[in-house]
Amino acid sequence: MLTEDKAKAIAARLACIISYDQLAQADLAIEAVFEDMRIKKGILSKLEAVLPETCILATNTSYLDVNEMATGLRHPGRFLGLHFFSPAHIMKLLEVIRADATSEATLGAAFRVAKAIHKIPALSGVCVRDS
């Protein structure tokens, strides 16, 4: 059960932003917009422009091609998919989607993050739908 004190502690760790520039100190950024490749790639490009080079950049896509999303990124090695199953506060599984260019360091960090937030990471490759 979520107590008022726990809720306050959680809220204290959150930051609401109104500008991409406010993400300049982020360690991890997860894009979770509508499942539209053009929109996702646009958001990822904007994020990459302001994030530090050490920041992991992820998508929460449930089915789009993570390799296609990585094309055009300046640092594709720090990009991967982190698909949280719905409802995320109940489901423990976290699909970790390794793109072709995802580095070992990024993959390892993603698994550490998953464990830190009490998720069970499951590594998967890129699955592409038949056209």
56 contacts 29 by C-beta, under 8 angstroms: yes
For the cut 70, the answer to whether the pLDDT of residue 25 exceeds it is yes
Is the pLDDT at 131 greater than 70, yes or no? no
Q: Across residues 27-33, what is the average pLDDT? A: 96
Mean pLDDT over 97-101 rounds to 97
CB proximity list for 66: less than 8 A, separation 6 or greater: 59, 79, 80, 81, 97, 98, 99, 126
For the segment 37-94, what is each residue's pLDDT rounded down to a tens digit?
A: 999 999 999 999 999 999 999 999 999 999 999 999 999 999 999 999 999 999 999 9
Helix (H) or strand (E) holding 42: helix 37-50
Q: Can you give the pTM of this predicted structure?
A: 0.88
Catalytically active residues are: 83
pLDDT at 129: 65
Q: So what's the pLDDT on residue 30?
A: 96
CA distance 19 to 116: 27
The Cα–Cα gap between 98 and 92 comes to: 19
Q: By percentage, how much of the chain surpasses pLDDT 90?
A: 87
Which residue is it, tokens 């995320």? Answer: 88
How would you label 16-26 residue by residue, b for 16+ Cβ within 10 Å and e otherwise? eeeeeeebeeb
Which residue ranges make up each domain of the chain? 4-124
| Cα distance between residue 82 and residue 115, in whole Å | 13
The letter for the amino acid at 106 is T
Q: Length of the chain in residues, anyone?
A: 131
For residue 18, give the 3-state DSSP assignment.
coil
Instruction: Indicate the fold that domain 4-124 takes in CATH.
Output: Rossmann fold (3.40.50)
Q: Which residue has the higher pLDDT, 81 or 127?
A: 81
**Mean pLDDT rounded to a whole number for the chain:** 94
The pLDDT of residue 21 is 93
